[in-house]
Structure 1
Amino acid sequence: MEVEAGKSVCRSAEVDDDGRIKRTGNVFTTTTHIITVVVGAGVLALAWAMAQLGWLPGIITMIIFACISIYTYNLIADCYRYPDPINGKRNYTYMQAVHAYLGGTMHLFCGLIQYGKLAGITVGYTITSSTSLVAIKKAICFHKRGHRAYCKFSNNPYMIGFGVLQIFLSQIPNFHNLTYISTVAAITSFGYAFIGSGLSLAVVVSGKGEPTRIFGNKVGPGLSEADKIWRVFSALGNIALACSYATVVYDIMDTLKSYPPECKQMKKANVFGITAMTLLFLLCGGLGYAAFGDHTPGNILTGFGFYEPFWLVALGNVFIVTHMVGAYQVLAQPLFRIIEMGANLAWPRSDFINKEYPTKIGSLTFSFNLFRLIWRTIYVAVATTIAMAMPFFNEFLALLGAIGFWPLIVFFPIQMHIQQKQIKRLSLKWCVLQILSFVCFLVSVVAAVGSIRGISKNIKKYKLFRYKQ
């Protein structure tokens, strides 16, 4: 009996309260996951957003959305366990939390938005990576042949190469094994952000910066009042959507060790991650706008706002690709997991779905699963094909993001918080929360309208699989 008791104590030391392998994540690892997801290549497009809004509205907008994000993500952290934030039952996914607090109908609504957005983002990351790889080749081409040379190349070979790499990385069993990839991705995200900022700063310091304005690009011969409004809509959407990691927030949180309480650790990580994100946004957006003024490109590294030093421009794009490799997996793993959990529940006795095959190649030991191998390979192949067929999918991605911003980052967290704390209807706090939700809903609508306009403009001039950058 003493031996059995000893085994029981040993076993309890190796697992958490839910019987799963003991989690070892901390505030630092969680912050790196957040930065990996949030500080994407879109940070280099914020200079364009700043140019549309101008100094005063641009800075205020970034700070406001950062504050909203910290508040609502802290509400999400409190809902990780149900009904008590510290001792309640774990919710392993965002959908589970919504189901626990708000019921089945909201659960389905959340799932459609969340996993549809994740699928769209993986396609967008494939496009972003190929764009940066082509930009590396263009930087070398412009350096050798001059800035006016014809340097256009097909994105398709680079998308295929990126897809092949993701097929191998997608065999990583679960989110808990992504810490090293996520850390490298977070480091490289700072790398290309600082390169873009540094090159912009060099232009400003040299006295070659363009004129800027408090309220952004001025309406005139080259910019109609209607176009100005559309651009402001898109800029608001870009800034708001840049704050999003709600699609993987519980997957990130589920890596945290049990003590201190997960909600307290996650709140610290939210503050650190979003603060770092906002500082980078202000740095890149402000310096890029100061360098290029009204002529700020959509992306200051891939849009060739800079040509020299060509090796530094190329290095910045290498960092973007490295970051996209890790960020793809951070966002794809939750999608993989929900499908595999569903298959496991539907066919619990199937060896094809559930059996693991331990394998050793030299000193490397790993296991593979037939269902995981086949389904994840098919998924990556389909995502890559869609990216090749529609390389302006970034507009579709912006639409998915616009649709997802309000429900995932604002609506669901607020409604779960109201239910958890039993806030009385029409009380002061209830009214304030609903006003916040409505304002963010309007931002989502504005961003969606701007995205749809961009899609309609691009689709008229596009030829299938023949896009060159």
Structure 2
Amino acid sequence: MHEHDNGIAFQGTAERRSLEIGKASIGFDDDGVEKRTGTFWTASAHIITAVIGSGVLSLAWGMAQLGWIAGAFVLLLFSGITYYTSCLLADCYRSPDPVHGKRNYTYTDAVKANLDERRTKLCGIAQYIYLFATCLGYTLTAAISMAAIERSNCFHKHGHDAHCPPKTNRFLIIFGCIQLFLSQIPNLHKLSWLSVIAAVMSFTYSTIGVGLSIARVSSKGASHNTSLTGVAVGVDVTSTEKIWKVCQALGDVAFAYAFTSILIEIQNTLKSSPPENKVMKKASFLGILVTTMYYMLCGFIGYAAFGNKAPGNFLTGFGFYEPFWLIDLANVCIAIHLFGSYQVFGQPMFAYLERGCSRRWPSSSFVNNELRTKILGFPFQFNMLRLVARSLTVIIMTIITMIFPFFNDVVGLAGSMSFWPLAVYFPTEMYIRKRNLNKGSSEWWWLRLLSLLCLFVSIAAAVGSVQGLITSLRSYKLFKFE
């Protein structure tokens, strides 16, 4: 048996011989891995699941800080930047040739193949900090949504004046228990069905939010408290608060599009024909186009409904009352969507840990052996390292979120630190190296200016996130969710 770096094994001399001449054998791809089955549609589902995260709920608030003109411009700007850099990154899946070169299984593999060791380490640090922090944020957001369902039903049953405090800790534990099970899915290749369900859920709760906003506009008229420049200095906020909030809004929009941190991992699920880079570019275009349309609907119609008083989560602006069943449905969809999103961002972390252990202990049965059993009559395959390591990771993340329930601010900070390197710097640097662009050429200058612009946005968003974190710490009480 021959082990590959990505942890998938194959047997037989025919397969080994075909790999020696760079050809795929029956049942296996050209790298000895079981044939990938991903398609344009599964990749699009992964992208939509990753991109339309809980960030869509804050876009109405973001539009309130930026106003109609800047809000529209920022949405379109970052959708264009994300698509452009994702296309650059898609060409880095194989090296040196983007169609017939050697596969890079992860983002850091792609950086290592195209740049140097120092930048590979920096990429790994940025990527895994971002993935870890994103999973923490999704854990908290899902628990808040599940608690909102209980609270809505409490108000409906006992009256709008009833005492119905949020009980988020219980739902953090429930979410963590569900992730203990889902995290045993071996890899991102086997996750397509969950991403499809999550993508449908994201469309559903976004549509409910848009529908409720339209109903609010129809019954009460569009809010007159909107403007071309957003919240007014001296009326809604002070000049200093305006700066902080604009920075946070820029971060919300920029990081709402971020999926490049797992683009290579998604691309590694695709069939080898047609070429993976071409399929990934088409999937990126569809995913970003669809999400931009929904972002504009949620952001603009939500802003029209609530004006400069738009809440951080525009679904909560409709209260916990009536129609309670529709609010419940939206929160159920958010929770289900985040079950899938957590796994899309968590699987690369799990794979990194398991690859490291496999290299460190190549002959360990605990690390490498796959065991088979039946649960409720269904065949189940598991690995002891996967069972223990993934369970511990989920438990640790759940406990951290229970201790620090304002991790959305921390996610914003981690995202601001990761957005520029992962979404812009490394894709542009690898493109410059692969194309051997002349220093000082027009294309070289364009890529440098793009990178510099996004660096400034990341710094501004980081400053806004730090300010929000400081504000949260001032009123912080351990294990309190009020």
TM-score of the superposed pair, with normalisation by structure 2: 0.94
Residue 242, structure 1, aligned to residue 256, structure 2: yes
Q: Which moved more, 1:140-149 or 1:291-300?
A: 140-149
Partner amino acid, structure 2, of 1:328: Y
**Which of 298, 323, 326 is the matching residue for 1:284?**
298
CA distance in 2, matches of 1:135, 1:26: 36
- Asked if the contact 2:24/2:30 (under 8 Å) is kept, the reply is no
- Asked if the contact 1:199/1:306 (under 8 Å) is kept, the reply is no
User: Partner residue of 1:123?
Assistant: 136
CA distance in 2, matches of 1:449, 1:68: 22
Counterparts of 1:146-185 in structure 2, within 5 Å, are 146-185=159-198
Structure 1 residue 220: deviation in Å?
2.3
Counterparts of 1:133-282 in structure 2, within 5 Å, are 133-211=146-224, 212-282=226-296
User: Partner residue of 2:5?
Assistant: none
* Structure-2 change in CA distance of 1:373 and 1:234 (3 Å): same
Give ranges in structure 1 of 5+ residues lacking alignment. Answer: none
**Which of 44, 63, 66 is the matching residue for 1:53?**
66
State the SS of the aligned residue for 1:54: helix
Partner amino acid, structure 1, of 2:155: F
Residue 352, structure 1, aligned to residue 375, structure 2: no
Residue 114, structure 1, aligned to residue 127, structure 2: yes
CA distance in 2, matches of 1:453, 1:7: 57
* Structure-2 change in CA distance of 1:259 and 1:246 (3 Å): same
Structure 1 residue 5: deviation in Å?
7.6
Give ranges in structure 2 of 5+ residues lacking alignment. Answer: 1-12
* Structure-2 change in CA distance of 1:306 and 1:65 (3 Å): farther
Q: Percent identity?
A: 48
- Asked if the contact 1:46/1:238 (under 8 Å) is kept, the reply is yes
- Asked if the contact 1:297/1:304 (under 8 Å) is kept, the reply is no
CA distance in 2, matches of 1:7, 1:432: 45
Residue 295, structure 1, aligned to residue 318, structure 2: no
CA distance in 2, matches of 1:11, 1:98: 25
Partner amino acid, structure 1, of 2:366: F
State the SS of the aligned residue for 1:255: coil
Residue 21, structure 1, aligned to residue 34, structure 2: yes
State the SS of the aligned residue for 2:478: coil
Structure 1 residue 306: deviation in Å?
6.6
- Asked if the contact 1:132/1:302 (under 8 Å) is kept, the reply is no
**Which of 77, 82, 90 is the matching residue for 1:77?**
90
User: Partner residue of 1:392?
Assistant: 406
Count of equivalent residues: 465
State the SS of the aligned residue for 1:13: coil
- Asked if the contact 1:48/1:296 (under 8 Å) is kept, the reply is yes
Partner amino acid, structure 2, of 1:109: L
CA distance in 2, matches of 1:304, 1:378: 38
- Alignment RMSD: 1.7
Counterparts of 1:360-439 in structure 2, within 5 Å, are 360-439=374-453
CA distance in 1, matches of 2:106, 2:328: 38
Deviations 1:270-328 (A, max 9, x none): 10000011001000001100000011110012454573211101100000000011111
User: Partner residue of 1:445?
Assistant: 459
Structure 1 residue 221: deviation in Å?
3.8
State the SS of the aligned residue for 1:366: strand
CA distance in 2, matches of 1:392, 1:79: 36
* Structure-2 change in CA distance of 1:237 and 1:379 (3 Å): same
- Asked if the contact 1:123/1:383 (under 8 Å) is kept, the reply is yes
Q: Which moved more, 1:448-457 or 1:352-361?
A: 352-361
- Asked if the contact 1:154/1:466 (under 8 Å) is kept, the reply is no
Structure 1 residue 41: deviation in Å?
1.6
- Asked if the contact 2:59/2:295 (under 8 Å) is kept, the reply is yes
CA distance in 2, matches of 1:199, 1:319: 15
CA distance in 2, matches of 1:150, 1:43: 30
Residue 465, structure 1, aligned to residue 462, structure 2: no
User: Partner residue of 2:3?
Assistant: none
CA distance in 1, matches of 2:101, 2:377: 42
State the SS of the aligned residue for 1:53: helix
Structure 1 residue 137: deviation in Å?
1.6
Structure 1 residue 404: deviation in Å?
0.7
**Which of 13, 35, 40 is the matching residue for 2:53?**
40
CA distance in 1, matches of 2:142, 2:227: 33
Q: Which moved more, 1:217-226 or 1:102-111?
A: 217-226
* Structure-2 change in CA distance of 1:219 and 1:368 (3 Å): same
Deviations 1:86-131 (A, max 9, x none): 1110000000000111110000000001011111111111100111
**Which of 301, 304, 319 is the matching residue for 2:333?**
319
State the SS of the aligned residue for 1:252: helix
CA distance in 1, matches of 2:332, 2:298: 18
* Structure-2 change in CA distance of 1:223 and 1:83 (3 Å): same
CA distance in 1, matches of 2:15, 2:164: 69
CA distance in 2, matches of 1:269, 1:182: 14
Residue 62, structure 1, aligned to residue 87, structure 2: no
CA distance in 1, matches of 2:33, 2:39: 17
User: Partner residue of 2:6?
Assistant: none
CA distance in 2, matches of 1:6, 1:400: 43
Deviations 1:6-47 (A, max 9, x none): 998998121111111111111111000000011012101100
- Asked if the contact 1:26/1:256 (under 8 Å) is kept, the reply is yes
State the SS of the aligned residue for 1:125: helix
State the SS of the aligned residue for 1:156: helix
